[in-house]
């Protein structure tokens, strides 16, 4: 397994991380035993970075990771946790709270559920518009000093917020969506991260399965939040699946799967970028790991650039109501 360093101050992690969200939430029912087997397979393959959120399954995901790590060396695993999203008993989202007092409360519960004495990277899931980012990061910095957190990360925030946060405490990485069809980070956020020595952990590298080569029009379910995503609806889905066929043709020429080429493209965008793959099954994980063996030549990258120029996707990456509250989208709306 290759490794990459998350920014100037962050940890060295596996070149690919495992996003565990879908094992507990949002993508419909998951198989608990297969989820744990997938985490074990990831660790055995050399993946060290496990990404979760305390609100994934309302604590379920952290408990699942705890179970999967029984008997494993804590020193060989880096756990990244997002906090701040508020949910109700029905599973609905009710807002974001990143006040200093709740930062420490959320952290205490995560440490207990995970069964660990520290979290490697702790980050607010979204910017709380009612709380200055300096206050939130300052509270996490206190937890770094106390030994409960090793590094501070951010998620889905724009350049101004990144700079303000970094001025309070060094930021290890920004977690943000980045893929062949979600390239908003290239406008200015990526440059800001590189200027400040901040790494990027890229989620949605397969656009939540849309550009995996496995998605079809009949794949949807009432419990699958992707059905509410603009890119998975109506004519948008038809147009986006047509893009996947372009990717399939390029992948055939390369001699790799569609998913492997999509992941390899993210890997090729810089050694400071670590893609997170949301595999819920061992076969999907094995396919994703194959991206590490894919070498994209300048000709391949040119073909991909031609087929997937910025803004090529039909529909937004989240519903408009959610995008309106995302700090990382502010510059685009201005």
| DSSP state letter for 311 | T
Query: How far apart are alpha carbons 81 and 88 in whole angstroms?
Result: 20
3-state secondary structure of 273: strand
Which residue out of 27, 56, 148, 178 is catalytically annotated?
56
DSSP of 132-172: -HHHHHHHHHHHHHHTSEEEEEEES--HHHHHHHHHHS-EE
Query: How far apart are alpha carbons 65 and 189 in whole angstroms?
Result: 31
Alpha carbon distances (Å) from 47 to 76, 125, 243, 292, 316:
9, 23, 30, 12, 31
Number of Cα atoms under 13 Å in the Cβ half of residue 150: 19
The total of other beta-carbon atoms located within 10 Å of residue 145's CB is 10
Catalytic annotation present for 148: no
- Angle, alpha carbons 223-59-16 (nearest 5°): 80
Evaluate the CA torsion angle 210, 211, 212, 218 in order and state its sign. Answer: positive
Alpha carbon distances (Å) from 309 to 38, 140, 183, 221, 304:
34, 38, 9, 30, 8
Taking the chain, what is the end-to-end CA distance rounded to the nearest angstrom? 42
Q: With 0-12 CB in 10 A as exposed, 13-18 as middle and 19+ as buried, what is 63?
A: middle
Catalytic residues: 56
């Amino acid at each position: 397994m290759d490794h990459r360093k998350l920014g100037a101050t962050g940890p060295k992690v596996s070149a690919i991380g495992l996003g565990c969200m879908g094992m507990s939430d949002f993508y419909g029912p998951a198989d608990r035993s297969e989820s744990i087997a997938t985490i074990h397979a990831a660790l055995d393959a050399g993946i060290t970075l496990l990404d979760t959120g305390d609100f994934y399954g309302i604590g379920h995901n952290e408990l699942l990771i705890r179970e999967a790590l029984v008997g494993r060396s804590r020193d060989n695993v880096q756990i990244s946790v997002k906090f701040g999203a508020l949910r109700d008993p029905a599973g609905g989202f009710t807002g974001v709270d990143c006040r200093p007092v709740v930062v420490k409360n959320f952290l205490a519960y995560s440490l207990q559920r995970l069964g660990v004495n520290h979290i490697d990277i702790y980050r607010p899931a979204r910017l709380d518009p009612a709380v200055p980012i300096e206050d939130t990061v300052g509270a996490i910095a206190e937890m770094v000093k106390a030994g409960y957190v090793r590094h501070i990360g951010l998620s889905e925030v724009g350049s101004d917020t990144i700079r303000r946060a970094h001025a309070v405490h060094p930021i290890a990485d920004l977690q943000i969506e980045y893929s062949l069809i979600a390239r908003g980070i290239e406008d200015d956020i990526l440059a800001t991260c590189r200027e400040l020595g901040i790494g990027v952990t890229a989620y949605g590298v397969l656009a939540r399965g849309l550009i995996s080569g496995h998605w079809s029009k009949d794949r949807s379910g009432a419990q699958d939040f992707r059905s509410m995503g603009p890119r998975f609806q109506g004519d948008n889905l038809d147009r986006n699946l047509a893009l996947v066929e372009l990717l399939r043709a390029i992948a055939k020429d390369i001699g790799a799967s569609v998913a492997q080429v999509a992941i390899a493209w993210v890997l090729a965008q810089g050694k400071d970028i670590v893609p997170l793959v949301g595999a819920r099954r061992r076969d999907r994980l094995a396919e994703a790991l194959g991206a590490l063996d894919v070498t994209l030549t300048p000709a391949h990258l040119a073909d991909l650039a031609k087929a997937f120029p910025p803004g090529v996707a039909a529909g937004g990456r989240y519903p408009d109501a959610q995008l309106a509250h995302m700090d990382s989208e502010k510059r685009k709306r201005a």
